[in-house]
Amino acid sequence: MITAAQALSAVPSGLRDPLISEYQSIIQNFLEHRWLPSELSGGRFSEILYTILDGHAKKSYAAAPFKPGNFVEACRKLENNAQPHVPRSFKILIPRLLPALYEVRNNRSVGHVGGDVDPNHMDSVAVLSMCNWVMAELVRVFHGVTVAEAQRVVDALAEVRVPVVWSDGNIKRILRPELKLQEQMLLLIAVSVPDVSSKELIEWIEYDDPRYFIRTLRALHTKRSVEFNERTDRVKILPPGAKFVQDLVRKKNLSDIS
């Protein structure tokens, strides 16, 4: 199984690291409902990705990301790559997505004023969804894995940071202990990707009633906020739980612990 640290290891670090950084920035800003920087990162993501596709086709990568003079036309030219090592998604699907990502940045009042609409949730969802799919496709192609395996790797890259959650790598703490048990649980599960054990959660929250803790975890599973596999003792966040965390971070200003 490929780990997050090994993801896209075939791509030079001068391109791989900026791409992953922008992807994580998109996710982080989306979580905090910061639509403008999330959509701006989508534009930067598309430029880095173009550089990677261009380098892969030429079998020679640029040392750093670059922006072609005519971005849309440059993406169209990627469709002309006839080399057998270039997969169809690198010639057609991704190059046709990139101009759409770039358009959100350029003409939706993100990178420039005067667009049709201000930065918003709808556009940010589109940016996040496109970038998530692209990252999984890159992992699938470069590592020769299944779609499901590629998505697991990308999910592991998508670890979010919430200032109210402190971590030293081995242990996590909620810095607002007055939060309800379910709120603390969902925050910790959301920032622990791809999953976490119930034992770790109990230790991190320092909860003194394990039986009640497990019942609460089962209730979250029943509500489909989390997926709790009691046989393996692994817990992961589900979309309804992620939405709850997004709203919680915004409503209780958990991005600011000052």
pLDDT digits (tens, 9 = 90+) for 73-126: 999 999 988 889 999 999 999 999 998 888 876 554 444 344 454 556 777 778
Q: Which of 122, 157, 192 is the last residue of a domain?
A: 157
Mark residue 206 as left, alpha or beta (left: phi above 0; alpha: psi -120 to 50; beta: remaining): left
User: Containing domain of residue 175, as a range?
Assistant: 165-251
Q: Which of 83, 92, 77, 91 is nearest to 59 (CA)?
A: 83
Per-residue burial over 162-193, b if 16 or more Cβ lie within 10 Å, else e, is bebbeeeeeebebeeeebeebbbbbbbbbbbb
Q: List, in sequence order, every residue forming a beta bridge with 236; answer none if it has no partner.
A: 227
| Amino acid, single-letter form, for residue 144 | G
pTM over 0.75: no
Distances in Å between the Cα of 108 and the Cα atoms of 124, 152, 214, 250 are: 11, 32, 46, 23
pLDDT on residue 32: 67
Q: Percentage of the chain with pLDDT > 70?
A: 86
Do 18 and 143 lie in a common domain? yes
In a domain, 191, yes or no: yes
Do 183 and 205 lie in a common domain? yes
Query: Residue 235 sits in a domain of what CATH number?
Result: 1.10.10.10
pLDDT digits (tens, 9 = 90+) for 10-66: 999 999 999 998 888 888 777 666 776 666 778 889 999 999 999 999 999 999 999
Q: Which of 111, 137, 157 is the last residue of a domain?
A: 157
Do 41 and 131 lie in a common domain? yes
DSSP letter at 4?
G
In a domain, 240, yes or no: yes
pLDDT digits (tens, 9 = 90+) for 120-164: 677 777 888 889 899 999 999 999 999 988 888 887 776 667 788
In a domain, 2, yes or no: no
